[in-house]
Amino acid sequence: MLEEAIRDKDRVVGSAKEAKGNVKQAVGKAPGDAKLEAEGKSDKVKGKVQNAVGGVKDVVREAVKK
C-alpha cells in the first residue's frame, strides 16, 4: 500500500495543479483579469506535465518489477 501511495504522488499533485489552474483560469476570465487567467493556464499545463511524468514513472516501475 505504501509503495502505491508513493507511486501515485506525481499523478495526485499533477491533478491538483490542473484543478487549481482550471479554477484560476475561470476566476480570471470572469472579470477579464488576463494575468490571473494566464497563471491558471500555466498551472494547468504544469499539472498535466507532472501527471504525465507520474505516468511514465509508473510504467518504468512496473517494467523493472517484471
Residue 9: pLDDT band (50, 70, 90) is confident
Convert the pLDDT of each residue in 24-49 to its tens digit: 999 999 999 999 999 999 999 999 99
Q: Which amino acid type is present at position 19? A: A
Q: Which amino acid type is present at position 30? A: A
pTM score, whole prediction: 0.77
The phi-psi region of residue 20 (left if phi > 0; otherwise alpha if psi is between -120 and 50; otherwise beta) is: alpha
pLDDT value of residue 39: 95
Residue 15: pLDDT band (50, 70, 90) is very high
CB 38 within 8 A of CB 28: yes
Q: Is the pLDDT of residue 8 over 80?
A: no
Q: Is the pLDDT of residue 61 over 90?
A: no
